[in-house]
Chain A
Amino acid sequence: MSLWVDQYRPRSLDELHYHKELTERLRSLAASGDFPHMLFYGPSGAGKKTRIGCTLKQLFGPGVEKLKIDQRVFLSPSKRKLEINVVQSNYHIEITPSEAGNYDRVVIQEILKEIAQTQQVDLSAKQRFKVVVLNEADSLTRDAQAALRRTMEKYMSNMRIILCANSTSRLIAPIKSRCLLMRVAAPNETEMHEVLKYVAKSVRIDLPPEAAHKIVEDSNGNMRKAILVLEALKMQSPDLTGPLSIAKPDWETYCHKVADLIVQEQSPARVMEVRAKFYELLSHCIPPTVILKTVAERITERVDESLKAEVMHWAAFYEVRMRMGNKKIFHLEAWVVKVMSLYKQFFYEMDISSFD
């Protein structure tokens, strides 16, 4: 049995709950026979992959749901073995090239060549091309993106590419210009309510409006998270009535704790304490950018209005440095020290640096 998120995931364009006009556009694109390369982008949990799946079904019929999942081994230029998981049907193939880390170029080249150079053998197939879905396209390296450019044009007759990314900012312009950009926005609150109601009805549980409201409020436009929360809640307190406390993910709570520590006291000892917490978070494989963002958001909630802009500015500044550098903890701590100093300066309401 699968989780509700998957169980009640819409499988065809007709079943989609929100973004009706986007659905219509996808439908007409699939019908037109002139299907372009596409780039789906939007926040996490907005429904990009659901829409990709639905579009594929519209294009090829129910055959795309017969999936085969296996591992492929690629050789990096230095003869290291890279194992990539491949999900494929007769009509499409789905890969996450970032699994190969820095060698994603190899994966892209090999897979695309292979797909592109073989024509669809199934004569009864609705379309003559196959589709390659590339997940996490925004974490493709520059090399891999460059490798995509030419293939996208050259093998247009045999293959279409669907990219899926959170933001387009890290994709190079030539790729963007070759794709039809599809923005999948996060659902708004009423839309989320609707989906939650649908899920509750399908599972045949009673979802009190307050609970639904809370879930929606908490999940911040992330549909997947909302449904996961709903399922977790249902598991923990089967009747869903009474005072509900929605548990935040633990890393988030922990990040908030860090933020509180920073605001409470500014001292070298506190810097060390915060550093230990950062280490703990990093060792739980929480991406450092997420840590920085969550802590910064929490701090802006706690500090004075005039400081908020500064805090966010420096968070952005250090996030850039973090992405460029290797030692994430250096930049996290640099930001903490910066915020502490800002806070102290503000607290004394004078510029102490003139005395130093």
Chain B
Amino acid sequence: MDSMMFTTTDLLGPGPSVLEIDDHLELEAGPSSNLTFSLGGLLDPAPTISSTESQGNLLQVPIHRMLDELSLSTASKLDGSNQKANQTHVNPDNDFTLWCDRYRPQKFTELVGNERVAREVMTWVKQWDWCVFGRRKAKKRTKDEEQSDEPVDEFHRPRERILLLSGPPGLGKTTLAHIVASQAGYDALEINASDARSGQVVDDRIRSALEAGSMLGGNKPTMLILDEVDGATGAGENANSFIAKLIQLTTDRPRRKKNSGKNGKAQTQRPILRPIICICNDINASALTKLRQHSLQVRMTRPADVHVVKRLREICELERLKADSRALTALVGVTRGDLRGCLNTLQFIKSRNEDVTENVIRRATLGMKESETSITSILNDLFSPLSKKRVKELGLTEEEEGHYVSRLCHDIDACGRDISIAIGCFSHYATLRQHDANFTRYESANSWLGTYDLFSSAMYSDGDFSLRQYLPYTLVPFHALFHERGGRVERSQDDWEPDTDARQNQKITQTNQEIYQSISRGLRIASARHHGAYRHFVEMPMLQLELAPYINRIISPPIRPINSQVIKAGERALLSRLVSIMAALELRFVQERAEDGQLTYRLDPPVDVFITYDGKRANDIPASRYAVRHLVAGEVDNLLFAINNDVIEKGKRGKHDFSGSTRTDENGDQPPSKRFKADHTDIVDRPPTDFFGRPITTPSAGIRKVSGAKVLEKKFRIAFKYAEGNSAAVRKPVKVSSFL
């Protein structure tokens, strides 16, 4: 109950508002009951007490008028009482500020604890001075003046243009930012989570604010403070997310700079010459992944308890609140140094006119135990027992310490990301080197995970979110099963997420799915061309289980890399079959230059990933050599070219064919579709020429001859004749055979 009261105060502002709310509730209850009572009177002929009307007149007055009157009278009553309430509750001796606002430091010297961090931030801001204010020296910006060894850009901005300030709540990050801003002579423009946080904001507000240099009516330069950036959009690859835009804003300047220099005039997008400070709680938030590399990271840590306690005592004295230092130490311990939390608690205690003793503190902070709810910390709690220090801080007894279930449940629930926690548990439990002779613990761990999965998928698929409250309980058993001293979850790199391997797996799966999709696209095209021949393979399990492994074997026959003219009859048959199958499926070898400069042929779409497990190819399929692939690639491209021509001649240029021909465009050495457009009057009569009318000589002349003969067999003579005149129709004599 205490905690609830506390949070309402926190939300609504100063203490008295709680009372106000209560009053409102009463007021609302009053008139409604009145109304029902009088209505009841209207309905039955029994005597009523409702209004000034006498009984006998009731039937003459229309009901809507009565209702109007009623509402009028209640409204006036409500008004009056409201005023009364306001009057009574304006407490002359208690103004409406939170203590944490009232005692917010105003000057740099007033900051408590964390002096190093404050200095670090200040130093960074000072680095901007050259750029923003222009030092005396800055007048002559010549090349030889650059004595500093670090690469300073042309505007003399610091290397990292964003400062990322992180740390748990209540340590004074926002305060620090503002103070530093005013100390260094800036106007702070704060954009926090209460503002819109889409990528558009960057364009609309931030850019304009920063480009203007200073705010309207002020003569100081602007410093941008982005509060709570971890709540911004930006986790995805989306280029329009807030973070991506922000980074874009600060980084890709030089190119534009050159442009504007050439034009002699500054373009619309000028470089950003003002410092930006980003503030976040969780530096490992996925939204910040990209921002981290572009910014100077400063981490706020919990200041030493002594400083905080000292400050609290000063405030208590100012507020005439009796407080013993033990109680204050306990308060700081419980809140983990969260000064705002401490002050709110004290103010709350003060509003109830109590003295600050340890007991009061314990009661007041019942709900505050979870203050850090990152996934890592929860996993740590799950896999390791509570540290002795924390036990002491929370003032738990031996017995209470043993009661881990509700504590952990509460933590997991508060975090709200139970899926990540479950995956974290899953990836962590087996790495613990614990003796488990017959896997009993593993079994039960897995059955809990299974239960979790069943619950959560039932919850999401049926939309039955009443199951949600049970989810944390399925993860808590990990504590009982695996807690051990030293079993802490490691946090290695800055990009650390508890579900790295799961996520990686997901990424690979996605690329492979795309490959499957491109294969099935190829299959569909093939089935369109071959009277529905390949269409049965498109279905998913069959494609993966049967076609993918065997098509790889089918397309890698042992062919010797020789000239296709001197090839033996048997091999020729093999080759032509291979080529026709590959062409039908739109599989082709694409020439590529490897990093070491060697030419290689790559399969496209890369179906060979499906015979590659653990990075090794299946050993019964040797990767064909370059020369062989070269031979096959030429043949396939030729055949595909012929097919496309064929289709076009038939006048059924479907969507898929179009895509096929454009793809040839990209990687073939001659652009067939262009050429085709150039002279499609009578293609057969002329020798093949390219766009400029030069005869085409393909690199493998021999191959071309072979397939050329094939092409000629298939083609029909068609003459296009355009009738000049107004008719929009195109007339063309076409042979019947081309429709067959």
Q: Which residues of A contact B (CB under 8 A)?
A: 1-3, 6-7, 44-45, 49, 65, 67, 69-70, 85, 87, 94, 96, 98, 135-136, 222, 224-225, 228-229, 231-232, 235-238, 245, 247, 249-251, 253-254, 266, 268, 271-272, 275-277, 279-287, 290, 318, 321, 324-327, 329-331, 333-334, 337-338, 340-341, 344-345, 352-353, 355-356
- Chain B residues near A271 (CB-CB < 8 A): 430, 442
- Other-chain contact of A250, B436, B570, B613 (Cβ < 8 Å): B613
Q: Is the contact region of chain B dominated by helix, strand, or loop, or is it mixed? A: helix
Closest residue of chain A to B579 (Cβ to Cβ) is A1
Q: Is B574 a contact partner of A235 (Cβ separation < 8 A)?
A: yes
Q: Is the contact region of chain A dominated by helix, strand, or loop, or is it mixed? A: helix
- Chain B residues near A275 (CB-CB < 8 A): 430
CA A228 to CA B549, docked complex, whole Å: 10
Q: Is B550 a contact partner of A356 (Cβ separation < 8 A)?
A: no
Tell me the chain B residues, 128-151 only, with Cβ under 8 Å from chain A.
none
CA A7 to CA B584, docked complex, whole Å: 13
CA A324 to CA B459, docked complex, whole Å: 11
- Chain A residues near B549 (CB-CB < 8 A): 247, 249-251
- Other-chain contact of A352, B438, B453, B516, B558 (Cβ < 8 Å): B438
- Chain A residues near B452 (CB-CB < 8 A): 330
- Chain A residues near B533 (CB-CB < 8 A): 2-3, 6-7
Q: Is A268 a contact partner of B434 (Cβ separation < 8 A)?
A: yes
Counting chain A CB atoms within 10 Å of each CB, which of B528, B534, B546 scores highest?
B546
B467 interfacial by beta-carbon distance below 8 Å: no
Closest residue of chain B to A328 (Cβ to Cβ) is B453
- Chain A residues near B422 (CB-CB < 8 A): 327
Tell me the chain B residues, 605-629 only, with Cβ under 8 Å from chain A.
609-614, 618, 620-621
Q: Is B454 a contact partner of A325 (Cβ separation < 8 A)?
A: yes
**Chain A binder among B95-103, B443-451, B698-706, B714-722:** B443-451
Q: Is B614 a contact partner of A249 (Cβ separation < 8 A)?
A: no
Q: Is B439 a contact partner of A266 (Cβ separation < 8 A)?
A: yes
CA A334 to CA B454, docked complex, whole Å: 13
Q: Is B437 a contact partner of A356 (Cβ separation < 8 A)?
A: yes
CA A69 to CA B523, docked complex, whole Å: 11
- Chain A residues near B47 (CB-CB < 8 A): none
CA A1 to CA B529, docked complex, whole Å: 9
Q: Is B442 a contact partner of A2 (Cβ separation < 8 A)?
A: no
- Other-chain contact of B439, A135, A238, A272, A341 (Cβ < 8 Å): A341
Counting chain A CB atoms within 10 Å of each CB, which of B516, B554, B578, B584 scores highest?
B554
Closest residue of chain A to B458 (Cβ to Cβ) is A324
- Chain B residues near A329 (CB-CB < 8 A): 426, 502
Q: 16 A–B contact pairs at CB < 8 A?
A: A1-B530, A3-B581, A6-B534, A87-B535, A135-B539, A228-B554, A231-B550, A235-B578, A247-B621, A282-B505, A284-B544, A287-B544, A330-B426, A334-B449, A341-B440, A344-B438
- Chain B residues near A341 (CB-CB < 8 A): 438-440, 442-443
Q: Is A3 a contact partner of B610 (Cβ separation < 8 A)?
A: no
- Chain A residues near B556 (CB-CB < 8 A): 235-236
Distance (whole angstroms) from the CB of B256 to the closest CB of chain A: 37
Given A238-B570, A238-B574; A334-B524 close (CB under 8 Å): no
Given contacts A272-B430, A282-B509, A326-B457, 5 further A-B contacts (CB under 8 A): A69-B527, A249-B545, A251-B544, A277-B614, A330-B452
- Chain A residues near B334 (CB-CB < 8 A): none
Q: Is B581 a contact partner of A280 (Cβ separation < 8 A)?
A: no
- Chain A residues near B502 (CB-CB < 8 A): 279, 329
B580 interfacial by beta-carbon distance below 8 Å: yes
- Other-chain contact of A235, B440, B535, B557, B570 (Cβ < 8 Å): B557
- Other-chain contact of A228, B457, B546, B557 (Cβ < 8 Å): B546
Q: Is B450 a contact partner of A286 (Cβ separation < 8 A)?
A: no
